[in-house]
Structure 1
Amino acid sequence: MVGRTIRFDDGAAYEQVMGIWSQLAGGIFLDWLAPPSGLRWIDIGCGNGAFTELLVERCAPEEVHGIDPSEGQLAFARTRPATRRVEFRQGDAMALPFPPDRFDAAVMALVLVFVPEPAKGIAEMARVVRPGGTVAAYMWDMLGGGFPLDPVLVEMRAMGVAPPRPPEMNASRMDVMHDLWTDAGLDAVETREITVHRIFAGFEDFWMTSLKAGSLGPTIAAMASGDVETLKSRVRARLPADGDDRITYSARAHAIKGRLPM
Structure 2
Amino acid sequence: VDIVKLSRGEVISMSQIEIRYDDGVAYEKMMGTWSRAAGEIFLEWLAPSQGLRWIDVGCGTGAFTELIIERWAPAEVQGVDPSDAQLSFARTRPLGQIVKFQWGDALSLPFSEAEFDVAVMALVIFFVPDPAKGVVEMARVVRPGGIVAAYVWDMIGGGHPLEMMHTELSAIGFPAVHPPHSEITGLEALRLLWRNASLDEIDTREITVRRTFADFEEYWTTSTLAATVRQTINAMHPSDVGLLKERMRGRLSADAEGHVTSVARANAIRGVRSR
Alpha-carbon separation, structure 2, partners of 1:159 and 1:247: 23
Which residue of 229, 235, 239 maps to 1:226? 239
In structure 2, C-alpha distance between the alignment counterparts of 1:27 and 1:133, rounded to whole Å: 20
- Larger deviation, residues 79-88 vs 179-188: 79-88
- Of 164, 167, 187, which aligns to 1:154? 167
Q: Please, which moves more after superposition, 154-163 or 20-29?
A: 154-163
Q: What SS does the corresponding residue of 2:246 show, helix, strand or coil?
A: helix
Counterpart amino acid of 1:118?
P
Letter of the aligned partner of 1:221 in structure 2? N
Aligned length: 260
Matched letter for residue 269 of structure 2:
I
Indicate which of 200, 223, 228 corresponds to 1:187. 200
Instruction: Tell me the amino acid that sits aligned with residue 41 of structure 1.
Output: W
- 2:188 aligned residue: 175
Pairing 1:123-138 to 2, within 5 Å after superposition: 123-138=136-151
TM-score by length of 1: 0.97
| Displacement of 1:84 | 5.0
Partner of 2:251: 238
Match in the other structure for 1:144: 157
Q: Structure 1 residues 74 and 83, CA, compared in 2 at 3 Å: closer, same or farther? A: farther
Note if contact 1:57-1:82 (Cα within 8 Å) is conserved in structure 2: no
Alignment identity in percent? 56
Query: Measured at CA, do residues 83 and 29 of structure 1 come closer, stay the same or move farther in structure 2, by a change above 3 Å?
Result: farther
Superposed structure 1 runs of 4+ greater than 6 Å apart: none
Structure 1 CA distance, aligned partners of 2:42 and 2:59?
A: 15
Partner of 1:104: 117
Matched, 1:201 2:214: yes
In the alignment, which residue of structure 2 is the partner of 1:164?
Answer: 177
CA-atom RMSD, angstroms? 1.1
Equivalent residue in structure 2 for 1:10, among 11, 19, 23: 23
> Separation in 2 of the partners of 1:10 and 1:229?
24
Distance 1:249 1:195 in 2: 11
Q: Give the Cα–Cα distance (whole angstroms) in 2 for the partners of residues 148 and 37 of structure 1.
A: 31
Aligned with 1:59 (options 60, 72, 75): 72
Contact 1:65-1:86 at 8 Å conserved across structures: yes
Paired position in structure 1 for 2:51? 38
**1: distance between equivalents of 2:266 and 2:96?**
25
TM-score (norm 2): 0.92
CA distance in 1, matches of 2:96, 2:228: 27
Task: Report the Cα distance in structure 2 between the residues aligned to 1:85 and 1:183, rounded to whole angstroms.
Answer: 32
**TM-superposed deviation, 1:83:** 5.2
Tell me which amino acid in the other structure corresponds to 1:11.
G
Render the CA deviation track for 1:19-45: whole Å, top value 9, x for unaligned. 000000000000001111010000000
Whether the 8 Å contact between 2:75 and 2:98 is mirrored in structure 1 is: no
Structure 2: state its 5+ residue gaps: 1-13
Residue 82 of structure 1 and its aligned partner are, at CA, apart by 2.6
Distance 1:131 1:96 in 2: 17
1:85 Cα deviation from its structure 2 partner: 3.2
CA contact (8 A) 2:59 2:79 kept: yes
Residues 116-171 of structure 1: CA deviation (Å, up to 9, x unaligned): 10000000000000000000000001121110011211100111102322111111
- Retained in 2: the 8 A contact 1:56–1:83? no
One-letter identity of the residue aligned with 2:84: E
For residues 112 and 162 of structure 2, the distance between their equivalents in structure 1, rounded to whole angstroms, comes to: 37
